Structures are given as C-alpha cells and as structure tokens.
Amino acid sequence: MKVLVIRFSSIGDIVLTSPVVRCLKLQRGAEIHYLTKKNFTAILSASPYIDRVHSIDKSLSEIIGVLKMEDFDLIIDLHKNLRSWMVRRKLGKRSLTFQKANVRKWLMVRFKPSDIKVDHIVNRYIHALKSLDVRYDGEGLDYFLQPAGEGIPVLSKPFLCFGIGGTHFTKRMPTHKIREVCKNLSVPVYLLGGSEDTGAGEHIAQDFDHVSNLCGKLSISDSARIIKEASVVISHDTAIMHIAAAFNRPIVSIWGNTVPEFGMFPFYPEKEPAKFHVVQVQDLPCRPCSKIGFNACPKGHFKCMIQQDTDYITDIAKLEISNI
C-alpha cells in the first residue's frame, strides 16, 4: 500500500502526526510519502518510517505533477483545509481524514461550558485509520534528530529549557513574567525559540549569568537535541511542548487564551506516567477566548498571562529537577 500523508504545518502539529506514520508503517508495511511545507521538511526527513518527503514552497502547482506520477493507493489528510482538499481532488484517490472538532471548540469559546472536552488530536488522527485496521500502539510521539550542527553549547546537567515563543501573542507570557521565573532558578536555563523571539530572549537573559538566549541561533533539530537532554522543559502551548513530550521530558506547560481541553496537551506513551503540569489562571470568565490565538488580548487586560503565578512555575520546575 502506497500512502500519502498530508500535514502542511506547523512544527507541533507535524510532530503530533508521528504516531499515524509509525503505526501505518509497522502495522501495514505501507510505503509512506509525506507532503508538507518546505520549511518543515527537516522535521520529517530523518524518520525511518517515511520513505519520501514532498514539499511545497508557495503553490501546489510545484508538486501536483510529481504526486500524480506516484500513483498513490490512499491519501490520509491530517490537515483538512482547502489546500489539502485540493490535493485530494487533483489526485482523485481514495482518502481518509479526521474530525477537527471545530464545533465543540466553538461552543467552548462562545459559551464556556464545563462539560465539553475534545479528545486528543492524536487519538482523532488514529481513529481516521480505523477502516485500515490500524490501531494506536501506545508508544507516544516520535522526533528523529538530524546530525548535530554548530552552535550547540556545552551542556552540564541539570539544566532547564524554556520555550519562550508562540505563534500568537495571547499564547505567550510577557517577557517580564518569564524573567521572574528565570530569576528564581539556579540551574542553567536555555531560552529556545525562532528568530522572531531573538529580541525577547536577549531582554530575558539580560543580567542573568545562568540564562542563555539560543532563540534564532539553532536549527529545529538542534533545539530538539537540547530539549531531549533537558531536566525539565517550560513551554507555552506551542511546538516545544510537543517535542518535549516526544522525548518523554517533564513539562511545565503554560496556558493563556487556549485550554488543554481543546485536545492539544502533551501526549506521552501509555506505559509512562504523564510528566506534565498544567499552569493556567483559573476561573477567568473570558477563557478560552479563541481556539488558536490573537495578536492582542481582545479584552485588553491579558489577565490569562499577566496573572500567572511565576513562583508556582518555578517551584514545579525545581521539584522536577530535584526528582532526577
């Protein structure tokens, strides 16, 4: 069986598809091709379960001809947007997709019901394979590293990684709050994020000898290499959280406008106890305000991040380090 898996973006969402790829390969012996955006090919190219990675830069026209020549038996659409629908339509092959649960999420945002939860997206991905008699193997997420690049610091354990970024403003703690957390930590702290986080990282690390700003200085794979060795990872609801879960690291996950009940919390192997702590401001009537995020707090007060208890975050991190 020759299968095309589609997930265009982003880093965390692609990592969350890894159980689908693994289970398809090991349980059905499928030849697996993966279609994503060019910027994210490095996340997939080291996987032993993927036979070929296809990518687009700007337009589907770059790749449709090549995909047609592959003559796939099946398309598994794990993005389920207009662009992935167009791929399915142009290839004209049997396809499977998953439940996005957008209605439930909309109800949670609009009415804040306490009795609605969304199944984890990994479970929803796997459920899409039910007709293939593919079942979840309980092994959690995968992340396979590329060869190490330059710029990785000499690491002395114990140390902590702090993923300071986030696609949307309302998913990120302000820099002064992150500085409060770092100030009360005595172990080395490595700040991770993209090039867009470089300035914030410099501000956070300023005047702290034990804090190093690596934002924008490492490849995705090299950032993951550091996460793999970390004693504990602090992260917003973003890709670094999911990479840390793939390496079974203890996680302090900080939630602002989104909530774990959306089904995107850290996903661990079944045989391992969950090693994540959810940190959020409870009983805010405006949370969740979006299933994704905003460039500014729609209420103007940003209490979901401004009121985060940084002492509590620090205490959890210290507890995890002491348990090593």
The two tokens of residue 89 are: 């339509």
User: Which residues fall within 8 angstroms of residue 98, CB to CB, at 6 or more apart?
Assistant: 77, 78, 80, 121, 124, 125, 127, 128
Residues in the chain: 324
The pLDDT of residue 151: 82
C-alpha span between 25 and 62 (Å, rounded): 27
The pLDDT of residue 54: 98
The 31-37 sheet, strands edge to edge: 52-56, 31-37, 2-6, 74-77, 95-97
The pLDDT of residue 324: 79
For 59-91, the pLDDT digits (tens) are 999 999 999 999 999 999 999 999 999 999 999
* pTM reported for the whole predicted model: 0.97
3-state secondary structure of 6: strand
**Domain range 160-322, CATH class:** alpha beta
Q: How far is CA 79 from CA 95, 121, 275, in A?
A: 12, 11, 28
Closest CA to 224 of 248, 243, 249: 243
198 φ, ψ to 5°? Answer: -60, -50
Percentage of residues of the chain with pLDDT beyond 90? 95
For 21-30, 43-52, 145-154, which range has the lowest pLDDT when averaged over its residues? 145-154
The two tokens of residue 191 are: 């700040």
Same CATH topology for 2-132 and 160-322: the answer is yes
Can you tell me the mean pLDDT for 112-127?
A: 95
What is the full DSSP assignment across 38-90? GGGHHHHTT-TT-SEEEEESS-GGGTHHHHHHH--SEEEESS-SHHHHHHHHH
Q: What is the mean pLDDT of the chain?
A: 96
CA angle at residue 166 from 298 to 153, to 5 degrees?
155
**Domain range 2-132, CATH class:** alpha beta
- Going from N- to C-terminal start, the domains of the chain cover 2-132, 160-322
